[in-house]
Amino acid sequence: MEYINDFFSDKVPQFLQNIIIALCSCILGFILTAIIRQIFKFFARFWATFEIQSIIKHLHGPIAVFIPLLLLNISMGFMVMENAVLAQLNRIIEIGLTITFALILIRIIKVLEDYFYHKYDLNKEDNLKERKIRTQLQFIRKFIVSLIIVVTVAIILLSFESMRKIGTGLLTGVGIGGIIIGFAAQKSLGNLLAGFQIAFTQPIRIDDVLIVEGEWGRVEEITLTYVVINIWDQRRLILPITYFIEKPFQNWTRVSAQLLGTVFLYLDYTIPIPPLRDELTRLLTDHPLWDKRVNVVQLTDNKATTVEVRFLMSARNSSQAFDLRCYVREEMIKFIRENYPDSLPKTRLEYKPGPDQGEGEPILQKK
């Protein structure tokens, strides 16, 4: 420090010395940032890995600010100025360092999330394990990011003397304040605890297929306070996270993405069942959506004028099961219409003469 001051003392005014030192430290910081970026780009060129690309994408901005600020903070020791001004500048730089460091931590979490999302890809047929891990990761990421933000704000506020005095005064009323805050934040704390319960017991997961409030949809997002359901017609159903702890709902992919699909047809009593079994087998065998697990035709009920025939089939997931059901329903109706048209539902009228009437005056009775 003495050598620098001696070098500048007779040539440059003091305030210009400080500006030159600050500019040099910032320029050096930008140069170091550029070197680090080029090193990562060099490795990415020869080892085109997903992780390096993610690091460059998420950490370039915060690092480009943090390193110059860090060197500027170090260079403050070589500057000569009034203590009050120096203290204020140090505080501003320290607040900037705190904010950028918190941002770096958040971006590191994002890099880790990208890594796990890349490793556990949802775009596969049996993605139960991936959905479990993604649900936990999403909740943990949001909780840790919230915690980092709260701690960062607390550190910044405590760097001001006036805030420390306010904090000391508030400690005297912490008992009453804690009770009031407890009542005021009861719902928020309930949501937070429900979020922890859902993240680790997992009654629902990301990309689960649910029937909730009479709607069919997939779990699109789980936050600390609410869940977003992407309904089949692209509407979004927003529900508080406590809903999935307190109320019943259907989860079609709780254990596996595989699902059974059913088609019900109501036919005349004259319908033969064996040809329907043969036709369903032919339809499923030729269709790529059938996963070859279940192929059943059963007469499940009979009513006054019709019988209920159930066609049971299986698919790899709910979307494929729906498409397969529609296909089977269409083709089976076509098959019955072409081969057994008399077995389609009908209303009968019986032509019968009355006891006191002649043969030419019949009575019509609906059956």
Handedness of CA 46, 49, 51, 57 (dihedral sign): positive
* Per CATH, domain 259-343 is 3.30.70.100: yes
Write down the mean pLDDT value for the chain: 78
Note the pTM of the prediction, 2 decimals: 0.53
Dump pLDDT digits (tens) for 84-103: 777 788 888 888 888 999 99
Give the β-pairing of 215-222 and 226-231.
antiparallel
In the CATH hierarchy, which fold is given to the domain comprising 188-251?
A: SH3 type barrels. (2.30.30)
H-helix or E-strand spanning residue 237: strand 236-240
DSSP 8-class letter at 347: -
Domain ranges across the chain: 2-119, 188-251, 259-343
User: What is the pLDDT, as a whole number, of residue 213?
Assistant: 87
What gap in Å lies between CA 166 and CA 174, rounded to an integer? Answer: 12
User: What is the pLDDT, as a whole number, of residue 171?
Assistant: 47
Res 265 pLDDT > 90: yes
Dump pLDDT digits (tens) for 303-362: 888 899 999 998 887 788 889 999 999 999 999 999 998 888 877 666 666 565 555 555
Q: Which residue has the higher pLDDT, 296 or 179?
A: 296
Q: Say what percent of the chain tops pLDDT 90.
A: 13
Is residue 253 very low, low, confident or very high in pLDDT (cuts 50, 70, 90)?
confident
Residue range 271-298: mean pLDDT, rounded: 91
Dump pLDDT digits (tens) for 162-220: 665 554 554 454 444 455 555 545 555 666 677 777 777 778 888 888 888 888 888 88
Res 271 pLDDT > 50: yes
What gap in Å lies between CA 189 and CA 239, rounded to an integer? Answer: 16
Please give the structure tokens belonging to residue 59: 């950490």
Instruction: Count the Cβ atoms, other than its own, within 10 Å of residue 95.
Output: 16
Dump pLDDT digits (tens) for 3-48: 445 544 556 576 777 788 878 888 888 888 888 888 877 776 766 6
User: What is the pLDDT, as a whole number, of residue 118?
Assistant: 75
Q: Which residue has the higher pLDDT, 233 or 180?
A: 233
Task: Spell out the long-range contacts of 93-97 with Cβ–Cβ below 8 A and sequence spacing 24 or more.
Answer: 93/69, 94/159, 95/156, 95/159, 96/65, 96/69, 97/66, 97/69, 97/70, 97/73
Question: What's at 179, amino acid-wise?
Answer: I
Confirm if 345 and 267 have CB atoms less than 8 A apart: yes
What gap in Å lies between CA 194 and CA 244, rounded to an integer? Answer: 8
Dump pLDDT digits (tens) for 125-168: 666 667 777 777 777 888 888 888 888 888 887 777 666 555 45
User: What is the pLDDT, as a whole number, of residue 159?
Assistant: 73
Report in angstroms the alpha-carbon separations of 191 from 143, 148, 186, 203: 12, 20, 9, 15
Mean pLDDT highest for which of 62-76, 220-234, 270-284, 336-350? 270-284
User: What is the pLDDT, as a whole number, of residue 85?
Assistant: 74
What gap in Å lies between CA 166 and CA 360, rounded to an integer? Answer: 107
| Alpha carbons within 13 A on the beta-carbon side of 221 | 11
The residues that bridge with 267 in the sheet, in sequence order, are: 307
Task: Spell out the long-range contacts of 129-137 with Cβ–Cβ below 8 A and sequence spacing 24 or more.
Answer: 131/205, 131/206, 131/207, 131/208, 131/253, 132/202, 132/205, 134/205, 134/206, 134/207, 135/198, 135/199, 135/202, 135/204, 135/205, 135/206, 135/222, 136/199, 136/200, 136/202, 137/113
H-helix or E-strand spanning residue 97: helix 83-119
What gap in Å lies between CA 19 and CA 78, rounded to an integer? Answer: 11
DSSP-derived 3-state class of residue 295: strand
Burial of 258 from C-beta contacts in 10 A (0-12 / 13-18 / 19+): buried
Confirm if 215 and 231 have CB atoms less than 8 A apart: yes
User: What is the pLDDT, as a whole number, of residue 187?
Assistant: 59
User: What is the pLDDT, as a whole number, of residue 47?
Assistant: 66
Q: Which residue has the higher pLDDT, 51 or 312?
A: 312
Res 242 pLDDT > 60: yes
DSSP-derived 3-state class of residue 214: coil
User: What is the pLDDT, as a whole number, of residue 346?
Assistant: 74
Give the β-pairing of 236-240 and 250-251.
unpaired
Res 366 pLDDT > 50: no
